[in-house]
C-alpha cells in the first residue's frame, strides 16, 4: 500500500527558499513588510507554490469547509469611532485566520437595550461587544470579548482613558482655565463615567476653587448641536471658559453651535474632547482631543477573540491600550 505524500512543512519551504523558518512565518502571516525584502518574499511564495504548502489554519478551513464567523455588536455604525473599531476588527480576524476566509457580521443598534437574539441565533463562533453592558441572548457558552467597557467582566480590551483625561485636565489648568463645562454622554456607560471622573478629579486637584459644570447630550451630531445651542447662554453666563465633551462627535456639534452663535473658539470658549476621529484634525478650528486607538481596539479584540475560540491560553487580565492628548487649535488661554 502506497503511503500518501507527507504534507509540506514550514521547514521545507524555508529550505527550498534558502531562508529561515521565521522568514516563512513572516510571509505567510502577512508580516513581511519591513522585515523581509521583496525579492526574498517572492522566493518564499514560489517555494510555497511549488511545495503546495498549506498553513495549519488553511488546513482547518479546508477540512471543515467552513469560514470563521465572528459578530461585532456595536452602537451606531455612522459614528466614525465605531467605524474604525469595525475596520480594525475585520483586519484582526483576517490576520488570525491567516487569510483562509472569515465572515464578520456587523450588528448595530441605537437602542438603549439592543436586541441580541440575532447573535444567539446566528452560527457565529464568537462575539466582539462594543456596546457596554450587553451580552448575547441564548448563547451563554459563546466566546465573548468586550471592547471599551472597563466595567465588563471576562475577556476585554480597553483603553487607558484615565491617563488621557488627566493629561487634558492638566492642559486646561496650565492654560489658566478655572471653570469648565463637561458635556457628558446621556448613555450610562462605564467608559464615559471613567472619562468624566478622571478629568474632574485631576482638574479640581490642580485648580483651587475649580468648577466643573455637568451637562449631557446624545453622542450624535444633531443631539450635541441642539444641546449646545440650548445651553450656550447659560454656559457663558456662568463664567465657563472651556467645554470638554465625552466624544469628538459631540465636540463637532458644539463647534457648529458656537460658530452659528458667533462665539470665537478658543478666544471665548476652548473646546476639547475624547476619541481623535479623523475629522478632529480638520475641524474649524482643529480639535484638541484625547487620542483613543479605535482601530487597534478592534484589531486587538478580534485577535484575542480568535485565541479564545481556538482554546489558546490567554492572559485573563484586561488588555489596556495607551491613550494620549493631542493638542490642536481649539484650546487656548481664557
Task: Quickly state the pLDDT bin for 235 (edges 50, 70, 90).
Answer: very high
Which CATH number do you get for residue 30? 1.10.260.40
In this predicted structure, which of 95-104, 203-212, 260-269, 271-280 has the lowest mean pLDDT? Answer: 95-104
**Residue 111 cell numbers, joined:** 437602542
Residue 16 lies in a domain: yes
Domain that includes residue 24, residue range: 10-53
Report the number of distinct structural domains present in the chain: 1
Residue 253 lies in a domain: no
For the stretch 134-170, pLDDT in tens is 666 556 778 889 999 888 888 999 999 999 999 999 9
For the stretch 244-280, pLDDT in tens is 999 999 999 999 999 999 999 999 999 999 999 999 9
What is the spatial distance between Cα 111 and Cα 289, in angstroms, rounded to a whole number? Answer: 27
- How much is the pLDDT for 132? 72
The whole-chain average pLDDT of the chain stands at 85
What is the spatial distance between Cα 149 and Cα 191, in angstroms, rounded to a whole number? Answer: 6
Residue 172 lies in a domain: no
Do you find a cis peptide bond into 266, omega within 30 degrees of 0? yes
What is the spatial distance between Cα 304 and Cα 284, in angstroms, rounded to a whole number? Answer: 38
Residue 320 lies in a domain: no
Residue 79 lies in a domain: no
**Main-chain phi, psi angles of 236, to 5 degrees:** -65, -40
pTM above 0.85, yes or no: no
- How much is the pLDDT for 220? 92
Residue 33 lies in a domain: yes
Residue 58 lies in a domain: no
Determine the 3-state secondary structure of 309 from DSSP. helix
Say yes or no to pLDDT of 112 above 70. Answer: no
Beta bridge partners of 104: 70
CB atoms within 10 A of CB 68: 24
Residue 32 lies in a domain: yes
What is the spatial distance between Cα 85 and Cα 292, in angstroms, rounded to a whole number? Answer: 11
Amino acid at each position: 500500500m502506497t503511503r500518501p505524500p507527507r504534507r509540506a512543512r514550514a521547514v521545507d519551504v524555508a529550505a527550498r527558499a534558502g531562508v529561515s523558518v521565521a522568514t516563512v512565518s513572516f510571509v505567510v502571516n502577512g508580516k513581511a513588510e519591513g522585515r523581509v525584502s521583496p525579492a526574498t518574499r517572492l522566493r518564499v511564495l514560489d517555494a510555497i507554490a511549488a511545495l503546495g504548502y498549506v498553513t495549519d489554519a488553511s488546513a482547518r478551513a479546508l477540512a471543515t469547509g467552513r469560514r470563521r464567523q465572528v459578530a461585532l455588536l456595536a452602537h451606531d455604525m455612522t459614528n466614525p469611532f465605531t467605524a474604525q473599531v469595525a475596520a480594525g476588527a475585520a483586519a484582526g480576524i483576517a490576520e488570525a485566520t491567516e487569510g483562509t476566509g472569515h465572515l464578520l457580521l456587523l450588528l448595530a443598534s441605537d437602542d438603549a437595550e439592543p436586541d441580541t437574539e440575532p447573535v444567539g441565533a446566528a452560527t457565529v463562533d464568537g462575539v466582539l461587544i462594543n456596546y457596554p453592558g450587553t451580552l448575547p441572548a441564548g448563547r451563554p457558552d459563546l466566546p465573548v470579548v468586550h471592547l471599551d467597557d472597563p466595567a465588563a467582566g471576562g475577556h476585554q480590551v480597553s483603553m487607558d482613558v484615565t491617563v488621557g483625561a488627566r493629561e487634558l485636565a492638566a492642559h486646561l489648568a496650565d492654560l489658566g482655565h478655572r471653570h469648565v463645562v463637561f458635556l457628558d454622554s446621556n448613555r450610562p456607560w462605564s467608559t464615559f463615567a471613567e472619562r468624566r471622573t478622571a478629568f474632574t478629579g485631576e482638574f479640581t486637584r490642580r485648580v483651587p476653587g475649580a468648577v466643573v459644570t455637568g451637562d449631557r447630550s446624545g453622542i450624535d451630531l444633531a443631539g450635541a448641536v441642539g444641546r449646545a445651542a440650548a445651553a450656550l447662554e447659560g454656559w457663558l453666563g456662568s463664567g465657563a471658559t472651556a467645554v470638554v465633551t465625552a466624544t469628538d462627535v459631540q465636540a463637532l456639534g458644539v463647534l457648529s453651535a458656537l460658530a452659528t452663535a458667533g462665539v470665537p473658539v478658543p478666544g471665548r470658549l476652548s473646546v476639547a474632547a475624547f476619541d481623535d476621529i479623523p475629522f478632529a484634525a480638520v475641524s474649524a478650528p482643529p480639535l484638541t482631543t484625547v487620542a483613543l486607538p479605535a482601530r487597534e481596539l478592534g484589531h486587538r479584540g478580534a485577535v484575542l477573540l480568535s485565541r479564545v475560540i481556538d482554546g489558546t491560553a490567554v492572559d485573563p487580565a484586561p488588555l489596556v491600550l495607551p491613550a494620549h492628548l493631542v493638542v490642536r487649535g481649539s484650546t487656548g488661554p481664557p
